[in-house]
């Protein structure tokens, strides 16, 4: 493309614009191809997944603390922003150096996505396709656009071939719109099918129902959440940038490994045909800061994991079993290691299929997840369960253990002040200080509150459901004018007092007393 005279004045801008158009076209193409391959194979999702796997633990914790459950959205936007910058840069290179160089850069970005997608733990080689196609589309569009910028326009000026440029922009915009919409529609119809399948499931009544909630498990204090956390507001923590939507009819669970004398493969129908138990269990995340809300209480329906393991021939280490670690693997490649001894010690460790009266929501592990009372989620509560392998802690580190978290992590006794909220402005007189406390599988025997470092006062406990659930509490505070600090601590069922020693969430859960500062106005 020889040209007399220099590049057009706005060459840099045109190059950047060409890059952005190419980038958008690439993403639209990827949307279409990934809808056909599988939603997780899209380049942004794949690169995002790789980032999630590679970020250092403190950065991840920071992201959870700052962005909460929007962390995934922020990650996606961040990747899109970087992509836009790279694409614009490739466009500038294409214009200033040679169109071929820009195109090669675009191909290279596609390759990065393809490698990330094919390298995901649950990937097949097909997963590389969306990024590969995206790279080719980006390269082609960029080549044509930057070529048009380098082609002289009408004689005399320093213009470029505007007509060709606009034609390619319009054609790729049109093509992108069609590809994007088609991808979205087919993705949405896939999701709708999965949702319809889930909605059509009828869960059998449990042979062993949860006991009816004792009256008074929930205290009538405004601002205190319900005793059972509704599914829609149950916290969600996982590494999945796209929620797996596996059909129940396609689900299987393979149980194998050391000491398994009868390897089993269970289907969903096998679970439905077994004795179903229903239990109230409070689930907590190890990333929950003192006072945080990454904890929830649900009524789970499922089969006893211990029964299934015993059928497979598994024995507890204390009875001579060779495996001390049960490694659960999810359909998206998460691995979660749980002590075999704990799972077999008589507690209600479940292969859960139901949550609060409905099949598990997709985001909470449909069709089947594990729930083990007393252990943090990252060492017990594998969602979208696919495989159970018996091994040892010495031989295998699960996903989070490779990322600096403790291999074994029983839930630490914790308590939280929900009302009054921090920095609340109160009036003098009686103020209800209330919240929840949890020490799963040990139970909560007392909650104490103190004001301004004074003596600990006994709070009134709500009725106990089970030792595996949290407990609400309230303390009527005769509030006096001024600024005050409220603190809470719990005593577990063994009599152990919640430690006030402050520790962050890494490596095995935060400790310390939740503290709330309030201001009480004069009694006027
Ligand atoms: N497959 C899979 N299972 C998972 C996780 C995950 O990232 N992937 N996160 C675990 C963690 S850290 C917690 S705290 C619980 C959270 O379960 P929830 O999202 O249903 O509240 O799921 C656990 N199970
Ligand atoms: Mo967690």
**213-263 per-position pLDDT tens digit:** 999 999 999 999 999 999 999 999 999 999 999 999 999 999 999 999 999
Angle between helix 11-37 and helix 129-150 axes, rounded to 10 deg: 160
Cα 411 from Cα 375, distance rounded (Å): 5
Q: Does position 3 have pLDDT exceeding 70, yes or no?
A: no
pTM score of the predicted model = 0.93
Confidence of residue 5 (pLDDT cuts 50, 70, 90): low
371 close to ligand 1 (CB < 6 Angstrom): no
Segment 112-138 shows an average pLDDT of 95
My answer on whether omega of the bond before 420 falls inside 30° of 0, hence cis, is yes
Q: Which CATH number fits the domain 414-521, given the four candidates 2.60.40.650, 3.55.40.20, 3.20.20.70, 1.50.10.20?
A: 2.60.40.650
Q: How far is CA 238 from CA 11, 206, 491, 521, in A?
A: 45, 28, 30, 43
Look at 315 and 158; give whichever has higher pLDDT.
315
The answer to whether domain 231-403 has CATH 2.130.10.10 is no
Is it the case that residue 158 has pLDDT exceeding 80? no
- For residue 285 and ligand 1, the question of a CB distance below 6 A is answered with yes
H or E element in which residue 481 lies:
none
295 CB near ligand 1 (under 6 Å): no
What is the pLDDT averaged over residues 59-84? 89
Do the Cβ atoms of 105 and 23 come closer than 8 Å? Answer: no
Q: Give the tokens for residue 303.
A: 């089969």
Ligand 1 close to Cβ of residue 362 (< 6 A): no
Q: Which of 123-137, 148-162, 500-514 has the lowest mean pLDDT?
A: 148-162
- CB of 330 closer than 6 A to ligand 1? yes
pLDDT tens digits, residue range 333-389? 999 999 999 999 999 999 999 999 999 999 999 999 999 999 999 999 999 999 999
Q: Which ligand is in closest contact with the Cα of 399?
A: 1
pLDDT for 58 equals 86
Residues 369/355, Cβ–Cβ less than 8 Å:
no
Ligand 2 centre and the CA of 255: distance in Å?
24
Residue 208 contacts residue 61 (beta carbons within 8 Å):
no
Q: What CA–CA distance (Å, rounded) separates 136 from 33? A: 13
Assess whether pLDDT exceeds 60 at residue 523.
no
> Between 8 and 406, where is the model more confident?
406
CA-to-CA distance for 54 and 402, rounded, in angstroms?
11
Kindly state if the Cβ of 256 falls inside 6 Å of ligand 1. no
Rounded to the nearest angstrom, the distance between the alpha carbon of 379 and the centre of ligand 2 is: 8
Task: Provide the β-strand partners of residue 389.
Answer: 256, 327
What is the percent of the chain with per-residue pLDDT over 90, rounded to a whole number?
90
- What spacing in Å lies between the alpha carbon of 64 and ligand 2's midpoint? 11
Average pLDDT, the chain: 95
For residue 330, give the ligand 1 atom closest to its CA.
1
Domain boundaries, the chain: 11-196, 231-403, 414-521
Q: DSSP letter string over 427-478? A: ESEEEEEEEEEE-TTT-EEEEEEEETT---EEPEEPPP--TTS-EEEEEEEE
Beta strands across the sheet bearing 457-458: 425-427, 514-521, 482-492, 444-451, 457-458
Cα 341–chain centre separation: 27
Pairing of strands 514-521, 425-427: parallel
CB-ligand 1 contact for 14 (6 Å cutoff):
no
Q: Can you tell me the distance from the alpha carbon of 38 to that of 46, in angstroms, rounded to the nearest whole number? A: 11
pLDDT tens digit string along 25-41? 999 999 999 999 999 99
CA of 282 to the centre of ligand 1 (A): 13
Per-residue pLDDT band at 1 (split at 50, 70, 90): very low
pLDDT in tens, 259-290: 999 999 999 999 999 999 999 999 999 999 99
Span 45-54, pLDDT tens digits: 999 999 999 9
392 lines ligand 1 (CB under 6 A): no
The DSSP string of 327-345 is EEEETTS-EEEEEHHHHTS
pLDDT in the model for residue 524: 53
> For a substitution probing ligand 1, which of 327, 381, 409, 508 has the most ligand atoms within 8 Å of its CB?
381
Residue 68: band (very low, low, confident or very high) from pLDDT cuts 50, 70, 90: confident
Q: How confident is the model at residue 153 (pLDDT cuts 50, 70, 90)?
A: confident
Atom of ligand 1 nearest to the CA of 383: 3
Q: Is the CB of 366 under 6 A from ligand 1?
A: no
What phi-psi label fits residue 133: left (phi over 0), alpha (psi between -120 and 50 degrees) or beta?
A: alpha
Of the candidates 189, 201, 191, the one whose C-alpha atom is nearest the C-alpha of residue 249 is 201
Residue nearest to atom 2 of ligand 1 (CA): 383
User: For 239, which DSSP code?
Assistant: S
* CA–centroid distance, residue 65 to ligand 1 (Å): 16
CA separation for the pair 464, 444 (Å, rounded) = 8
Kindly indicate the confidence band of residue 66, based on its pLDDT and cuts at 50, 70 and 90.
confident
Nearest CA to ligand 1 atom 12: 378
pLDDT of residue 157: 73
For ligand 1, is residue 379 a contact (CB within 6 Å)? no
């Amino acid at each position: 493309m020889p040209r007399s005279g220099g590049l057009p004045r706005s060459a840099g801008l045109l190059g950047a614009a060409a890059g952005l158009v190419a980038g958008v076209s690439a993403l639209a193409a990827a949307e279409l191809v990934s809808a056909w391959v599988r939603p997780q194979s899209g380049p942004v999702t794949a690169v995002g997944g790789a980032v999630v796997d590679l970020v250092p633990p403190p950065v991840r914790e920071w992201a959870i603390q700052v962005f909460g459950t929007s962390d995934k959205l922020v990650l996606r936007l961040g990747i899109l922003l970087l992509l836009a910058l790279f694409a614009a840069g490739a466009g500038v290179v294409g214009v200033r150096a040679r169109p071929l160089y820009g195109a090669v850069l675009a191909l290279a970005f596609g390759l990065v996505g393809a490698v990330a997608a094919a390298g995901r733990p649950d990937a097949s080689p097909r997963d590389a396709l969306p990024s590969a196609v995206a790279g080719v589309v980006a390269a082609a569009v960029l080549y044509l656009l930057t070529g048009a910028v380098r082609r002289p326009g009408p004689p005399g000026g320093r213009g470029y071939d505007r007509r060709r440029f606009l034609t390619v922009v319009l054609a790729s915009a049109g093509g992108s719109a069609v590809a994007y919409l088609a991808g979205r529609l087919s993705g949405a119809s896939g999701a709708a099918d999965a949702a319809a399948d889930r909605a059509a499931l009828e869960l059998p009544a449990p042979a062993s129902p949860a006991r009816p909630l004792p009256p008074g498990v929930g205290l009538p204090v405004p601002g205190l959440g319900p005793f059972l956390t509704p599914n829609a507001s149950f916290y969600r923590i996982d590494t999945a940038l796209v929620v797996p939507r596996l059909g129940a009819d396609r689900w299987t669970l393979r149980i194998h490994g050391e000491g398994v004398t009868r390897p089993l493969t269970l289907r969903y129908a096998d679970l439905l045909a077994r004795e179903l138990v229903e239990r109230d269990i409070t689930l907590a995340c190890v990333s929950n800061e003192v006072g945080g809300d990454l904890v929830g209480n649900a009524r789970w329906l499922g089969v006893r994991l211990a029964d299934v393991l015993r059928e497979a021939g598994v024995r507890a280490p204390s009875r001579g079993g060779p495996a001390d670690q049960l490694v659960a693997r999810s359909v998206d490649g998460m691995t979660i290691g749980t002590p075999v001894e704990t799972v077999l010690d008589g507690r209600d460790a479940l292969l859960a299929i139901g949550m609060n009266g409905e099949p598990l929501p997709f985001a909470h592990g449909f069709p089947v997840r594990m729930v083990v009372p007393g252990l943090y989620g990252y060492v017990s509560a594998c969602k979208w369960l696919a495989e159970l392998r018996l091994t040892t802690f010495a031989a295998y580190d699960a996903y989070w253990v490779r990322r600096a978290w403790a291999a074994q992590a029983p839930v630490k006794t914790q308590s939280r002040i929900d009302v009054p909220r921090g920095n609340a402005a109160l009036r003098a007189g009686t103020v209800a200080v209330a919240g929840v406390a949890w020490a799963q599988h040990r139970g909560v025997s007392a909650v104490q509150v103190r004001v301004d470092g004074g003596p600990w006062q006994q709070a009134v406990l709500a009725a106990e459901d089970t030792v595996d659930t949290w407990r609400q509490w309230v303390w009527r505070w005769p509030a006096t004018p001024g600024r005050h600090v409220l603190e809470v601590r719990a005593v577990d069922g063994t009599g152990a007092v919640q430690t006030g020693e402050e520790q962050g969430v890494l490596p095995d859960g935060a400790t310390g007393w939740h503290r709330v500062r309030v201001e009480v106005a004069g009694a006027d």
